[in-house]
């Protein structure tokens, strides 16, 4: 809200999910098919003793035991992922700012093991970290309060929130989060993943229904499964799919007994981390109100990064925070820290203080981490007496639009909303995934590449995270390299068709699985 009045998002929601040309998909599946055939051949050679097997094997003493895992479950890792494994888990030896340092490593056995060369690749442009507002940086004098808290409180709490682990810093942070989100109360937790997976089971259980977006994060999926509630999936951001599930849930109730569901909980994310899309919040809120359901929104990637003042998708669409029943977010992205929060009505938060598994069993948030979040949030809100936080939010939006527009003009297929700082660039073929990341690192550009099983088999991609700390010169350097890489690897697949994945938005009829 601005000057006490809601800011309404008036522009049409523009999201692109362009489909690849047919020949690209054919070659992608052929690549996986050929890789699978050679995988079987190499497994045969390993089992015959012709080729050395570097993978973990069961000990001879346990040969008559039931195996801990099936050998085929490791087939993909052993024969495809292992060949391109050098593109992941790269060790960083500096703060994850707009530039960072990477420890060089090489492999002498085709990526089964690595050794460090002792060389440091300095000043690599960081296009992979979730450092949206550039607050995860080296120590400077503005972090003096974090150092003071470290000296006063130490590093660890060594207790849970229910016992001796609730500090005045936690209470200060929770009050500030509630003020930032314009809600009644908030509770903070030491781990972002556990904020979802350990709190959802406290909110719903047997006899409840969860309606989950098909692209929800693994923490939401795990929390939903642990809850024991019935889970049904709706197509990503598709209101027709969601409404059909809501209507059927109200009409038919629970299976067999036909009793009404105790609760119906809609679970969505603000910004989807693999697709770069933004939730269609106004329509979801309308459906929630129409069918008397609850809404749980995960703002891990959207809090601090979208909205006129960085307050997430509710502010982005100019909506009332009371329209959302459960706010969840993490401090690991925009705030340069760790942990997460649940926020909303005071009675909800008070209930979680008693029943949350994280509050009962997990160690409390480290005091210096809490202070880092406090100073970051005050910086964004302008409570530090400057407007630098607001300028960072606006700079992030400007950088995001510039980067996406240039990639579109070059002819790449990129997914997501034009306002999303998460920018997936589609690569498709597994061989190109490896070549893309290796070539860019040689040009001192660090990127995250993602493939199956984190994405659909044929939709491997590079995921760029734009930061307010990126200068125009940095972005132009990256864009110039991407332009050359697109020509070298033939990655410019776009035919400039909007939403060529119509099932995400336009389907009107759906069949529920039994």
Q: Please give the positions annotated as active site.
A: 273, 301, 333
Task: Please state, in angstroms and rounded to a whole number, the distance separating the CA atoms of residues 297 and 295.
Answer: 6
177: left (phi over 0), alpha (psi -120 to 50) or beta: alpha
Using only C-alpha atoms, the chain has a radius of gyration, in whole angstroms, of: 24
Task: Please state, in angstroms and rounded to a whole number, the distance separating the CA atoms of residues 473 and 77.
Answer: 38
| Burial per residue of 398-425, b for 16 or more beta-carbon CB atoms within 10 angstroms, e otherwise | ebbebbbebbbebebbbbbbbbbbbbbb
Phi, psi at 231, each rounded to 5°: -115, 130
| Burial per residue of 254-280, b for 16 or more beta-carbon CB atoms within 10 angstroms, e otherwise | beeeeeebeebbbbbbbbbbbbbbbbb
Task: Please state, in angstroms and rounded to a whole number, the distance separating the CA atoms of residues 225 and 219.
Answer: 10
Task: Please state, in angstroms and rounded to a whole number, the distance separating the CA atoms of residues 159 and 19.
Answer: 51
Task: Please state, in angstroms and rounded to a whole number, the distance separating the CA atoms of residues 508 and 467.
Answer: 38
Q: Which helix (DSSP H) or strand (DSSP E) does residue 121 occupy?
A: strand 115-126
Q: Indicate the burial class of 314 (C-beta count within 10 angstroms; 0-12, 13-18, 19 or more).
A: buried
Cis preceding linkage at 94, omega within 30: no
DSSP β-bridge partners for residue 188? 341
Task: Please state, in angstroms and rounded to a whole number, the distance separating the CA atoms of residues 298 and 271.
Answer: 8
The helix/strand/coil state of 128 is coil
Q: Indicate the burial class of 433 (C-beta count within 10 angstroms; 0-12, 13-18, 19 or more).
A: buried
3-state secondary structure 27-75: HHHHHHHHHHHHHHHHHHHHHCCCCCCCCCCCCHHHCCCCCCCCHHHHH
């Amino acid at each position: 809200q601005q000057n006490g009045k809601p800011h309404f998002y008036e522009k049409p929601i523009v999201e692109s999910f362009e489909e690849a040309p047919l020949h690209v998909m054919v070659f992608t599946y052929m690549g996986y098919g050929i890789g699978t055939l050679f995988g079987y051949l190499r497994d045969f050679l390993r089992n015959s003793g012709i080729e050395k097997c570097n993978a973990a094997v069961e000990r001879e003493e346990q040969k008559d035991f039931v195996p801990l895992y099936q050998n085929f479950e490791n087939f993909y890792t052993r024969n495809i992922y292992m060949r391109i494994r050098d593109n992941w888990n790269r060790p960083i030896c500096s703060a994850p700012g707009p530039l960072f340092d990477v420890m060089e490593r090489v492999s002498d056995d085709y990526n089964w093991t690595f050794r460090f060369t002792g060389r440091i690749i300095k000043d690599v442009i960081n296009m992979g970290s979730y450092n949206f507002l550039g607050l995860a940086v080296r120590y400077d004098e503005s972090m003096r309060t974090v150092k003071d808290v470290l000296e006063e409180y130490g590093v660890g709490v060594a207790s849970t929130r229910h016992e001796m682990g609730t500090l005045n810093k936690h209470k200060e942070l929770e009050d500030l989060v509630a003020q930032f989100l314009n809600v009644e109360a908030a509770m903070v937790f030491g781990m972002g993943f556990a904020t979802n997976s350990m709190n959802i089971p406290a909110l719903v259980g047997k006899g409840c229904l969860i309606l989950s977006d098909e692209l929800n994060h693994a923490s939401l999926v795990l929390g939903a499964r642990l809850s024991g509630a019935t889970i049904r999936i709706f197509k990503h951001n598709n209101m027709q799919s969601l409404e059909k599930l809501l209507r059927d849930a109200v009409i038919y109730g629970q299976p067999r007994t036909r009793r009404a569901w105790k609760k119906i909980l809609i679970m969505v994310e603000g910004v989807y981390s693999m697709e770069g899309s933004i939730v269609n919040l106004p329509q979801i809120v309308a459906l929630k109100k129409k069918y008397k359901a609850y809404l749980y929104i995960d703002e891990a990637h959207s809090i601090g990064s979208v909205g006129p003042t960085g307050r997430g998708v509710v502010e982005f669409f100019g909506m009332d925070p009371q329209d959302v029943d459960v706010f969840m977010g993490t401090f690991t992205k925009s705030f340069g820290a760790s942990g997460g929060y649940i926020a909303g009505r005071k009675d909800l938060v008070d209930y979680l203080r008693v029943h949350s598994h994280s509050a009962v069993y997990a160690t409390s948030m480290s005091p210096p981490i809490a202070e880092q979040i406090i100073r970051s949030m005050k910086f964004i809100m302008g409570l530090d007496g400057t407007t630098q936080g607001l300028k960072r939010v606006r700079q992030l939006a400007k950088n995001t639009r510039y980067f996406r527009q240039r990639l579109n003009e070059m002819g790449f297929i990129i997914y997501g909303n034009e306002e999303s700082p998460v920018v997936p660039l589609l690569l498709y073929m597994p061989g190109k995934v490896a070549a893309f990341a290796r070539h860019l690192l040689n040009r001192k550009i660090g990127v995250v590449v993602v493939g199956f099983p984190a994405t659909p088999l044929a939709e491997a991609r590079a995921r760029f995270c734009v930061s307010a700390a990126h200068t125009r010169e940095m972005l132009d350097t990256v864009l110039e390299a991407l332009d050359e890489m697109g020509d070298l690897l033939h990655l410019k697949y776009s035919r400039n068709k909007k939403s060529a994945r119509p099932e995400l938005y336009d389907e009107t009829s759906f069949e529920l699985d039994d």
